[in-house]
Amino acid sequence: MKATRITHRYARAIFAVASAAGVVRETLADLQAVVGYRESDRDAAQQLSSVLLHPRVWEAKKSALIDGAFGAGIGKIALRCLHLLVRTGRLREGPVIVDALEALIRESEGRQTALVSTAVELSDDRRREIVGRLEQLTGKTIEATFSVEPRLLGGIVIHLGDRLIDGSVRYHLDTMRADIKGLYLH
């Protein structure tokens, strides 16, 4: 799904309101529950979203539906959020907004996700070591996910938010191939 400027603007607004009220985590959990609701309970979610996203269903009806489905279960800010998205017709971007909100919260709390890929399974000690080094490097709490990608052949690739640290054998081989071919741009 596209992450546009608009979704970030919504996320920032929700973050500001929620942090003023001191319910950032709760709001995020609520919104994630709404998004997650749609994923766990397929049939109900599909029916609900087909109505909520249908252009010919009136706003009032959609709002009433939201009140009925989530009114009791989620906080005030999250609920108002959903109503706002209905009114502005941005419900479709909901999941992206929630993701952006999560990223904002993570950033404000000094946490950082990292995706660590290696060619072979790492031992727990190595994992701790890597996380420790990354925390040293970034000064943030690292939430690491580990994956095994045999395609890398060896070494390690770390996605740290928007940064990529590539020390894989695959990368070295690729650069070596390009150098030897003496290729220019292509």
| Residue 180 binds another protein (CB under 8 A) | yes
In DSSP terms, which residues pair with 141 in a beta bridge?
111
Nearer to another protein, 60 or 183 (CB): 183
| Residue 108 binds another protein (CB under 8 A) | no
What's the closest the beta carbon of residue 97 comes to another protein, in angstroms? 12
Q: Which of residues 116-175 bind another protein (CB under 8 A)?
A: 159, 162-167, 171-172, 174-175
Cβ pair 6, 93 in contact under 8 A? yes
What's the closest the beta carbon of residue 58 comes to another protein, in angstroms? 31
**CA pair distance 147, 144, nearest whole angstrom:** 10
Give the number of other CB atoms < 10 A from CB of residue 16.
12
What's the closest the beta carbon of residue 170 comes to another protein, in angstroms? 8
Nearer to another protein, 34 or 104 (CB): 104
Q: Mapping DSSP to helix (H, G, I), strand (E, B) and coil, where does residue 173 land? A: helix
Binding mask 1-30 for another protein (x = CB under 8 A): -xxxx--x----------------------
**Residues making up the chain, counted from first to last:** 186
Question: Segment contacting another protein (CB under 8 A): 39-47, 126-134, 139-147, 178-186?
Answer: 178-186
Binding mask 61-100 for another protein (x = CB under 8 A): ----------------------------------------
Tell me which residue of 86, 79, 71, 90 sits closest to 26, measured CA to CA. 79
Please report the beta strands in the chain, taking only residues with DSSP state E, as ranges in sequence order. 111-118, 141-148, 155-160, 163-168
**CA pair distance 93, 58, nearest whole angstrom:** 18
Q: Mapping DSSP to helix (H, G, I), strand (E, B) and coil, where does residue 109 land? A: coil
Handedness of CA 25, 26, 29, 32 (dihedral sign): negative
Nearer to another protein, 141 or 175 (CB): 175
Binding site for another protein (CB under 8 A): 2-5, 8, 159, 162-167, 171-172, 174-176, 179-180, 182, 184-186
